[in-house]
Amino acid sequence: MKDIYGGDAVPSQAWQTFFPDSEPDGDHQTDDRLRLSDLAKLARRTQRGIVGVARAGDRPTFTGILAAHLGAPLEDLEVVEESWPTYDHVNVQVGLDAWLADPRRTHQLLGMTNFRHQEFGLTDLLRRSSGYGPLPGNVSWVSLASGPGGQVQRAVRAGIYLVSEGDTRAAVLLKAPDPEAGLGATQMHVVADTSGAAVEIASTVRRLSVEHNVFRGQVISFGQDMFGERAGVLQFHVRPRMTAADVILPADTLATIKRQVVGVAEHRARLLAARQHLKRGLLLYGPPGVGKTHSVRYLMSQLTGVTIIELSGDSLALISTACSVARTLQPAMIVIEDVDLIAEDRDMYEGGQPLLFQLLNEMDGLAEDADVVFLLTTNRADVLEPALASRPGRVDQAVELELPDADARRALFGLYRGGLVVDDSRLESVLDRTEGVTASFLKELLRRAALVAAEETDDQPLTVSADQLDAALSDLLDTRNAMTRTLLGG
């Protein structure tokens, strides 16, 4: 018998044998007579207790270690506390590592135990401990995503760096967020024996964490964890690789989109010098399956080096977080697909505004010279229009993507046939019959035709006859396939 995990299921009565206090039947008497071995055990335990209490003062404590390192009277030292959002833990570690890597500095990392679910800071550790709270121990590390394809960076969960630089001695506490305990921030506390040094160190690490930020130039998205509590779970994505030849749109449509997004980025310096704003908003709208998402991916592929932040359905409440990351890491592009969904969302979020208004306010709040693009898509422009009209100036351009005309359908046919050998002698009739379908319909048509050919022949390479192409098209256009057509946007 296999259980649901594929292991051998244990018959239920067998569990009895695993209960620690189950006793063989018939022997229910407890033996409470004192034995010699009990006395010996008691004596050993008492001895351990006495020795432990007497030598507690010998165990290293943070207070002792910090006093030895810093040398000065601890109570006189100023502690500087900095904090970052949860998702920035990796960047704080990277910034700190960059600071420590300077050859003028040497350091030693102290780990700690008993730090989980505890609210404490460097000030607490500088005071003689009462026996509770963290104790010196092993360094506990956590692996954090630092790039696409599973790249990770290890970061300290809780530890103290004892740093020496010339005559200056400093200590830096790094503490990871602990969201389960309601401690959502990444914290860094700094103390030094020289006046002003702690402030200087804290601001240098903050600057380095932006300079070496692992999100810079990457494609990232924010999501929420399955309980929706830990906002800001961040993922890296591989940047799409595409060329203009992959996007079949009327030449002027593609040129407009490119100019607004890529062109402004290319001429950044001269536009700024001429005091023209860089911040821009572009809305792509049109029916499903015409290439809005496809164009977004194309733009991402062209903006190498630009930080892309994608927000989707479940992460839209993180608009202000996304904007703050974009501002820090500009040039950046914030992508919000299917923005009509948030226009219809009447839920109030922080600040008591429906999400769409929050988005428009955030767009407005970014400085004009910020090199940030907002790229929005929708197939329900009508839902958006009133809101956009009531707050003009956020979206500079709306570009409609239309159903492909005969020329575009021909081009799509050419693009999606790929390596397939197709008898296109009756292509004109195929193009006539596909009036009004979407780009995704044509892509599927070629795959269907290839499948029909694969089922009917053993040709190598796969060859589609004109009849097979017609048959695949008739099948897709068949009224019984109305639902499939709807799915393809046909």
Ligand X SMILES: Nc1ncnc2c1ncn2[C@@H]1O[C@H](COP(=O)(O)OP(=O)(O)OP(=O)(O)O)[C@@H](O)[C@H]1O
Nearest Cα residue to 175 out of 153, 154, 202, 157: 157
Which conformational region is residue 266 in: left (phi greater than 0), alpha (psi within -120 to 50 degrees), or beta?
A: alpha
Q: Give the Cβ contact number of residue 253 at 10 Å.
A: 18
At residue 98, the 3 state secondary structure works out as: helix
Give min distance, CB of 430 to Mg ion, in A.
Answer: 25
8 A C-beta contact, residue 429 and residue 413: no
434 binds ligand X (CB under 6 A): no
Residue nearer to Mg ion on the CB measure, 159 or 223: 223
Give the range of 63-71, 166-174, 282-290, 325-333 binding ligand X by CB under 6 A. Answer: 282-290
342 binds ligand X (CB under 6 A): no
Return the one option of ligand X, Mg ion, none that residue 290 interacts with (CB less than 5 to 8 A, by type): ligand X
Q: How far is CA 448 from CA 28, 422, 454, in A?
A: 75, 12, 10
Residue nearer to ligand X on the CB measure, 233 or 420: 420
311 beta partners: 336
Please identify which residue in 186, 221, 307, 379 interacts with ligand X, judged by CB under 6 A.
Answer: 379
Q: Which residues contact 216 (CB under 8 A, 6 or more apart)?
A: 307, 329
Distance of CA 244 to the CA centre of its chain: 28
User: How many residues interact with ligand X (rule CB under 6 A)?
Assistant: 15
Tokens of residue 223, six digits:
């999501």
Give the range of 102-110, 300-308, 439-447, 461-469 binding ligand X by CB under 6 A. Answer: 439-447
Give min distance, CB of 362 to Mg ion, in A.
Answer: 22
Nearest residue by C-beta to ligand X?
291
8 A C-beta contact, residue 80 and residue 189: yes
Please identify which residue in 221, 440, 465, 468 interacts with ligand X, judged by CB under 6 A.
Answer: 440
Give the range of 70-78, 80-88, 241-249, 339-347 binding ligand X by CB under 6 A. Answer: 241-249
8 A C-beta contact, residue 202 and residue 90: no
C-beta pairs of 344-347 under 8 Å, 24+ apart in sequence: 344/383, 345/316
Give the range of 10-18, 73-81, 163-171, 242-250 binding ligand X by CB under 6 A. Answer: 242-250
Buried b / exposed e along 301-316 (16+ C-beta atoms within 10 A): bbbeebbbbbbeeebb
292 binds ligand X (CB under 6 A): yes
Q: How far is CA 179 from CA 108, 221, 244, 264, 411, in A?
A: 28, 20, 44, 40, 52
414 binds ligand X (CB under 6 A): no
Residue nearer to ligand X on the CB measure, 88 or 337: 337
Please identify which residue in 168, 293, 361, 463 interacts with ligand X, judged by CB under 6 A.
Answer: 293
Q: Where are the alpha helices (DSSP H) in 311-438?
A: 319-329, 340-344, 355-365, 381-390, 406-417, 427-433
Residue nearer to ligand X on the CB measure, 79 or 449: 449
Residue nearer to ligand X on the CB measure, 267 or 380: 380
Give min distance, CB of 298 to ligand X, in A.
Answer: 9
Return the one option of ligand X, Mg ion, none that residue 321 interacts with (CB less than 5 to 8 A, by type): none
Alpha carbon distance 5, 310 (integer Å): 36
Radius of gyration of the chain (CA): 32
Return the one option of ligand X, Mg ion, none that residue 249 interacts with (CB less than 5 to 8 A, by type): ligand X
Give min distance, CB of 295 to Mg ion, in A.
Answer: 9
Residue nearer to ligand X on the CB measure, 143 or 486: 486
At residue 372, the 3 state secondary structure works out as: strand
One DSSP character per residue, 194-229 reads STTHHHHHHHHHHHHHHHT-TTTTSEEEEEE-TTS-
Return the one option of ligand X, Mg ion, none that residue 69 interacts with (CB less than 5 to 8 A, by type): none
Return the one option of Mg ion, ligand X, none that residue 442 interacts with (CB less than 5 to 8 A, by type): none
315 binds ligand X (CB under 6 A): no
Please identify which residue in 112, 174, 247, 366 interacts with ligand X, judged by CB under 6 A.
Answer: 247
249 binds ligand X (CB under 6 A): yes
Report the site for Mg ion in 280-319 (rule: CB under 5 A): 292-293
Distance of CA 314 to the CA centre of its chain: 13
Give min distance, CB of 193 to ligand X, in A.
Answer: 59
Return the one option of ligand X, Mg ion, none that residue 206 interacts with (CB less than 5 to 8 A, by type): none
Give the range of 97-105, 139-147, 284-292, 425-433 binding ligand X by CB under 6 A. Answer: 284-292
Task: Write out the residues near ligand X by the rule CB under 6 A.
Answer: 247-249, 288-294, 379, 412, 439-440, 443
Task: Write out the residues near Mg ion by the rule CB under 5 A.
Answer: 292-293
